[in-house]
Amino acid sequence: MSKSIKNPAAITHDPWTGLQSLTRARVALGRSGVSMPSREVLRFGLAHAQARDAVHQALDVESLAETFTDQGFRCLHVASRAPDRASYLRRPDWGRRLAEASAQQLGQQAPQCWPAEPPLAFVVADGLSSLATQSHALQLVMNLLPYFPDLRDSPILIATQSRVALGDEVGEILKAGMVVMLIGERPGLSSPDSLGIYLTAQPRVGFNDAQRNCISNVRPEGLDYAEAARKLAFLIAGARQLGRTGVDLKDDSDALAAPARDAQALSVEP
């Protein structure tokens, strides 16, 4: 049996193998007899372990804050009502609200750290993948600077044991026009480090997902930082015109960018 496993001829290749160059999805894995090849079984086990680790790994707040500080940003740490990771996973509702101490701290520091009714508030949260937040949050924020040059004027909040809706309470306390939440998304078997962006206008406790916009899969293997920043800037501009976010705010940035790219291509001399 060991000889047949090592023999390449024992693997029946999938005719769709060429698709593997276009996606990280688990396609065209081939087969050995009626089973998957051993290498694919092992890769699946590794991907599953990486996804589990991403969920349970704690966010290194001190290290993340230091990387932001090195780039000239100020940071404040807040926490949800979930006291630990186990509670966070069992009680999603606790992750949607600030701990009492964090809410009081934010309310006390808001007048000194933010302008009155700031147009934007930024929250960087662990979510279900602290790996994503640790790996990509700073790079994404740096790509946002050309669109929002005053981003360093107000602190960036680092939130732990956080769900998306935690940003609603943050925005309500700060009386922010909009809140941007950068948060680790639920890991997939080929994407343990996917970062999500959620934009909510006039945030208030009790909002639902229909009242916010999402940009998903931000990472080098998915939606790159520059493109994610461009889409977010487009949505913020649209939200300011519309007066709200959610199902009524459409991301038409690709359609609007296509004519500009075509014109640029036509203007290139042969």
Annotated binding site: 164, 185, 214
CA-derived radius of gyration, the chain: 22
Task: Provide the 3-class DSSP secondary structure of residue 173.
Answer: helix
Strands (E), the chain: 75-79, 120-125, 156-160, 178-184, 195-201, 212-218
Burial code of 211-245, b = ≥16 C-beta within 10 A, e = fewer?
bbbbbeebbeebbbbebbbbbbbbbbebbeeeeeb
Interhelix angle 100-113/166-174, rounded to 10 degrees, is 40
Q: For residue 197, what are its two tokens?
A: 């962006």
Beta strands 195-201 and 178-184, pairing class: antiparallel
Edge-to-edge strands of the sheet including 195-201? 75-79, 156-160, 120-125, 178-184, 195-201, 212-218
Q: Which residues are annotated as a binding site for adenosylcob(III)alamin?
A: 164, 185, 214
How many helices and strands, by DSSP H and E, does the chain display? 10, 6
